[in-house]
Structures are given as structure tokens and as C-alpha cells.
Structure 1
Amino acid sequence: MPISGRSHIRIARPSRDLAAAERFWAGGLGLKVVYRAEGGDAPGEHSLLMLGRPDADWHLELVHEASRPVEPRPTEEDLLVIYLDGDVPDELVGRLVEHGGTRVRSPNPYWNEWGVTVADPDGYRLVLCKRGWSNA
């Protein structure tokens, strides 16, 4: 089968402001910029920011097209969950907020009990879960 547990996953989203998104995801969470492309103002040209970790089988792609921006439309259930398998460090949550995030409560009590939810500058939600994936 061509899809395996090691298949790379790209999570792609529009962004209003790639600089603000980079502050949150790189400066706040600690992801690395794995690729960047600066687009122009002509139709079809877009700027691209990919963030991840060198050892991960996934990355986050954020796109902005100046000539035809797509407004992000996240719901409170659009989540990127990272399982920490341990307590969520207060200093990490503080750094995310300092870098443009907003701590929010989840409508799902599970995430409030087992983690911390922070909205990024575009409104997409990151959940830092203190459980490990195997016992989630």
C-alpha cells in the first residue's frame, strides 16, 4: 500500500499575515521554517511558509496570495493536537501568547481536562495535550 505510518503529512491553511503566523508557530511553539517562498502581487502568485521539525513526518504550510487573499475560516473544532505525554509547560503557553496566540477554552471538555488550547493569529486552534498518543 502506498500510504504508511511514515507517509509525510502536510497540513495546509490560508493565512492573513505570514509574519504573524511565523512569530506564533516558530517563535512561540518552536517549529523551524523548512521552506519559504515570497510571491508577488500578480494573480496566482502566492507567498508560502512551511514550518515543522526536521525529525517529523508532518509540516504546516501557510499560504497567502496578496492579489486574492483567502480569509481563514476556522471553527472551534479545527484543531492541531500535539500529544506531549507530560504536563503542558506554563512557559510554553506563555510564549505562545506572547507571540500572538490567544488561550481559549474548548467546547469539548476533553481538551480542557487533558490539555491547553491556544488560537493562532488566524484563529486556528492548537491543543497541547498532556496525554500520550497511545493512551489518548
Structure 2
Amino acid sequence: MKILAITTLIALSTLTFASVKSANAQVTSNSSICVSPIIVKGNVTYVSLALTRAKNLARQAAEKVNGGLSKYRAEASMYGPSFEAPCVDDGNNTWTFTFTGSKPGSTTPSVKTIVTVAKDGSEVTVDYNSPISKVN
């Protein structure tokens, strides 16, 4: 029982620290408006396990509708920290993620996907999934 409790504590700590951003780190223009900064002892942090879960659910939904990981990879921001996720807080207990993806190994995005995820993770909806049209 003690081993299970310690393992759970380590896993939760790892998830929490993976979602923390130091105030000294540079915030990119892709920073999500889905996470509000929290000031803890003078440091600004961005912590949201729910957003991390929602981001993963959105990415997994896109992977599924695009044929799986052997045929599709979402853009890098969908694998990184939750505060970099390209999302909008819809104000109705959902987040909407808008991102691109491509064939594994490709550097050119070929698919645009929009996924809405309930903040509690109970509902995931692929709102849009379509090839990106090429402009001549």
C-alpha cells in the first residue's frame, strides 16, 4: 500500500512539475489564453492538469480521425506544455483547440483540425478536420 501511495505521489508530482512554467522563461507568442498565470512566492506559474488532459484528448481525437500515428502527427505544440497549446477558453466549461498536422516526418502541415473538449474531459468533439488547401 505504501509503494502504491509513493508511486502515485511521484506520478502526480511529475505531472504537476511538467506543467509549471518559470517566470524567468520566455513566453512565446503561441502561449495559450486557456491558462491564467498564478503568482506563487514571486514566480509566475502556469499549472492546469485539466488543460493538459484536454490537450492530450484533442490530439488523440485528431490522431484517430486521421488514421492513427502511422499516418498522422499533430503539430509540436500539441505534445508540449499545456500553456503552449493553441486553444481558446470558450467560457462554457470547454476549450477549443485549433492545430495542424501532417504525415510523420513531414515538415509541411497538411491537415487542419479543430477539437472542442469539456474541461472535465467528459466530452470530445472533432468540429473540423480537413486538408489544408494549397494556394497557388
Normalised by the length of structure 1, the TM-score is 0.29
Larger of the two Rg values belongs to structure: 2
Q: Which has the higher helix share?
A: 2
Q: Which has the higher strand share?
A: 1
Normalised by the length of structure 2, the TM-score is 0.29
